[in-house]
Amino acid sequence: MAARTAGDLTRPVLTARAVARTFGSTVVLAGVDLTIAAGETVALLGGSGSGKSTLLRILAGLDGEATGEHVLHGTAAVVFQEHRLLPWKRVTDNVALGLTGAGVAARVDRALAEVGLADRGRAWPAELSGGQAQRVAVARALVREPDLLLLDEPFGALDALTRLRMQGLLRRLRAEHGFAALLVTHDVEEALLLADRVLLLDGGVIAEEVPVHLGPAPRPDDPALGALRRRLLDRLGVPTT
Amino acid sequence: MSTVVETPAPVVPAGPAPARSRAGAARRWRRVVSPVVLVLGWEAAARAGLLSPEKLPAPSAVLATGWRLARDGILAVHLVDSLTRAALGLLIGGGLALVLGAAAGLLRLGDDLVDPPVQMARMLPHLGLVPLLIIWVGIGESLKVTLVALGAFFPIYFNTYAGIRDIDERLVEAARTCGLGPAARLRHVVLPGALPALFLGLRLAIGAAWLSLVVGEQVNAQTGVGFLMMEAREFSQTDVVVLGLLIYALLGLLSDLALRYAERRTLTWRRGLRAT
């Protein structure tokens, strides 16, 4: 799980061209172009029903009926809004799902330790709290050493305090492993705190692209953050006074 | 047909445990009282001559007859024959149900081809098929085995189907993102997910199997517990008839207990909710 070298940063880990998806007569995605550089975190922001989760599912290869093309250079792993752990497998077996070869057990233990759950490997998913289960889901993605982490509102179902801790965890893991990430969220603040770049999905296309330069560990009371937040909320149609 | 609803049991905060278990033990004992009183009353009525032995012999007499037949080895012979029919029928009917239920549950084509005829056949009371089955397969062993297989088929088919259909599609998706192919998804997601329903189907099937056996063994059987009973009826050996009933009941009870034990051992993850 070594961090990638700086030279990798020039190569995109994901390129998508003219990705479109319709459900019946409803056009959800009308041609989305998207490039994610190696090690870059991109937040995908949009109102509910804007198609941001649909886009993520397409990029994860879970939607066979989408048109357009997307190429992944490397491997991807997904963390969903719900933890989606198999209730009949213990935590370690859930993390190890689909992995083969020698040293899997050690890798699983390491991934669980990284999310702070080294001692919960023998637990059943039903015995975990919501935050713990979501951390296991992060470990399950992490253990695959992905080049790109696809996150579909991963902290949306958690309480506010747990969500803040999870955001911190994600920032730390990204700094250590250097994976790229696509974060689907409806939380403007979360997008700004975690991403290098925020994309706004509206009307089935990327309507706006906002680079975020707040440094590696932005503080929630940074004035630059306030300005960006106001701009994005305006764009989303939420009045800010 | 019933399906398994998987509601995680809410974690109940532990109450005053000793007091609760004491009350539970007292209640369990209280529930034993009425059956014991009934059996004792039966025994007393038989001994007092209120029940004629031809109509209903005393429980002690039934047990004595059972002991005599067991000692002679007669009981074992008939029991083994009955068990063989039940096992064979269960294996054939259950196996077929598992294959067809999985085909209908997993594949759209299987669903379209298999499910309609099965749904139609379900409406036939399978014990009412005895006259037709006699014409088709005769009155020998195949009749008994066919009846058991028919009885076992439907509960297993419907629970296999429902168990597979009830699996959370989102878990299958998550398994796909973890790189699991169709075979691996079947093994790690579908099979364990459908297992609680399969167990339920098997329990219902075993109940139906015993019922079918009782009916089947009353048609020209030369061996088996049912034959023992029919023969005893001709010679007015009521004690043997009652013994046969007792054996059928015990078989049902024991098979259910064994299956529940297997279920508890296999589905520990569901108990995990209560373990901590």
Cα atoms in the Cβ-side hemisphere of radius 13 Å centred on B265: 6
Please report whether residue A45 resides in a domain: yes
B123 CB within 8 Å of a chain A CB? no
Per-residue pLDDT of chain A (241 residues; tens, 9 = 90+): 444 444 445 689 999 999 999 999 999 999 999 999 999 999 999 888 889 999 999 999 999 899 999 999 999 999 999 999 999 999 999 999 999 888 999 999 999 999 999 999 999 999 999 999 999 999 999 999 999 999 999 998 888 888 888 999 999 999 999 999 999 998 898 898 899 999 999 989 998 898 987 766 667 777 778 888 888 888 887 776 6
Report chain B's mean pLDDT, rounded to a whole number: 89
Co-location of A170 and A71 in the same domain: yes
Q: Which pLDDT score, from 0 to 100, does residue B18 have?
A: 58
| Lowest-pLDDT choice from A131-145, B134-148, B238-252, B260-274 | B260-274
Please report whether residue A2 resides in a domain: no
Amino acid at A223: P
Q: Which pLDDT score, from 0 to 100, does residue A8 have?
A: 47
Co-location of A120 and A93 in the same domain: yes
Please report whether residue A101 resides in a domain: yes
Q: Give the residue on B whose Cα is nearest the Cα of A81.
A: B170
Q: What is residue A51's DSSP assignment?
A: S
Please report whether residue A17 resides in a domain: yes
pLDDT digits (tens, 9 = 90+) for B62-108: 999 999 999 999 999 999 999 999 999 999 999 999 999 999 999 99
| CA–CA min distance A90, chain B (Å) | 8
- Which residue in A164, A163, A226, A160 sits closest to A192, CA to CA? A226
Burial class (CB in 10 A: 0-12, 13-18, 19+), B199: buried
| Domain boundary, last residue among A145, A178, A193 | A145
Q: Which pLDDT score, from 0 to 100, does residue A10 have?
A: 65
Please report whether residue A206 resides in a domain: yes
DSSP H/E element including A11: none
Co-location of A194 and A151 in the same domain: yes
Look at residue B2 and tell me whether its pLDDT is greater than 50: no
Q: Which of B171, B179, B273 minimises the CB distance to A86?
A: B171
pLDDT digits (tens, 9 = 90+) for A55-95: 999 999 999 899 999 999 999 999 999 999 999 999 999 99
Q: Beta A180-185 vs A41-45: how paired, if at all?
A: parallel
CA distance B47 to B58: 7
Q: Which of B170, B184, B188 minimises the CB distance to A84?
A: B170
| Domain boundary, last residue among A119, A145, A171 | A145
Co-location of A230 and A151 in the same domain: yes
Greater confidence (B267 vs A215) lies with: B267
Provide the β-strand partners of residue A32: A19
**Residue A3: Cβ within 10 Å count:** 13
Cβ separation A126–B273 shorter than 8 A: yes
Hey, what are B4's tokens?
């398994």
CA distance A124 to A133: 10
Distant-in-sequence contacts of A126-129, Cβ < 8 A, 24+ apart: A126/A87, A126/B8, A126/B269, A126/B272, A126/B273, A127/B272, A127/B273, A127/B275, A127/B276, A128/A91
Which of B6, B176, B178 to substitute to test the interface with A, most A CBs within 10 Å? B178
- How many contacts does A have with B, using Cβ atoms within 8 A? 63
Q: What is the mean pLDDT of residues B11-40?
A: 76
Co-location of A212 and A154 in the same domain: yes
Domain count across chain A: 2
User: Which chain B residues are closer than 8 Å to A62 by Cβ?
Assistant: 173, 176-177
Look at residue B12 and tell me whether its pLDDT is greater than 50: no
pTM (predicted TM-score)? 0.82
Q: Which pLDDT score, from 0 to 100, does residue A3 have?
A: 43
Which of B173, B177, B188, B190 to substitute to test the interface with A, most A CBs within 10 Å? B177
Co-location of A206 and A178 in the same domain: yes
Residue A42 contacts residue A197 (beta carbons within 8 Å)? yes
ipTM of the predicted structure?
A: 0.87
Co-location of A151 and A127 in the same domain: no
Which of A97, A122, A138, A140 to substitute to test the interface with B, most B CBs within 10 Å? A97
Look at residue B275 and tell me whether its pLDDT is greater than 80: no
Co-location of A156 and A138 in the same domain: no
- Which residue in B148, B123, B145, B268 sits closest to B207, CA to CA? B148
Co-location of A137 and A160 in the same domain: no
Q: Give the residue on A whose Cα is nearest the Cα of B184.
A: A98
A144 CB within 8 Å of a chain B CB? yes
pLDDT digits (tens, 9 = 90+) for B99-121: 999 999 999 999 999 999 999 99
Backbone angles phi, psi at B70, to 5 degrees: -65, -40
Residue A157 contacts residue A81 (beta carbons within 8 Å)? yes
| CA–CA min distance A19, chain B (Å) | 20
| CA–CA min distance B200, chain A (Å) | 17
B177 CB within 8 Å of a chain A CB? yes
Co-location of A181 and A208 in the same domain: yes
Percent of chain B with pLDDT over 70: 91
Euclidean distance between the first and final Cα of chain B, in Å? Answer: 33
Please report whether residue A241 resides in a domain: no
Please report whether residue A41 resides in a domain: yes
| Domain boundary, last residue among A103, A119, A145 | A145
Q: Give the residue on B whose Cα is nearest the Cα of A149.
A: B177
Helices (H), chain A: 52-59, 91-95, 104-114, 130-142, 160-177, 188-194, 223-235
| CA–CA min distance B153, chain A (Å) | 27
Task: Give CA torsion, residues A71, A74, A75, A80, to 10 deg.
Answer: -50
User: Which chain B residues are closer than 8 Å to A80 by Cβ?
Assistant: 170, 174
Co-location of A187 and A203 in the same domain: yes
Q: Provide CATH code, domain B56-271.
A: 1.10.3720.10
A130 CB within 8 Å of a chain B CB? no
Q: Which pLDDT score, from 0 to 100, does residue A233 have?
A: 87
Co-location of A131 and A185 in the same domain: no
CA distance B216 to B152: 14
Q: Which domain holds residue A139?
A: 87-145
B263 CB within 8 Å of a chain A CB? no
CA distance B85 to B89: 6
User: Which chain B residues are closer than 8 Å to A148 by Cβ?
Assistant: none
pLDDT digits (tens, 9 = 90+) for B196-222: 999 999 999 999 999 999 899 988 889
CA distance B136 to B106: 33
Question: Which residues of A, range 62-121, sit inside 8 Å of B by Cβ?
Answer: 62, 76-78, 80, 82, 84-90, 97-98
Cβ separation B192–A86 shorter than 8 A: yes
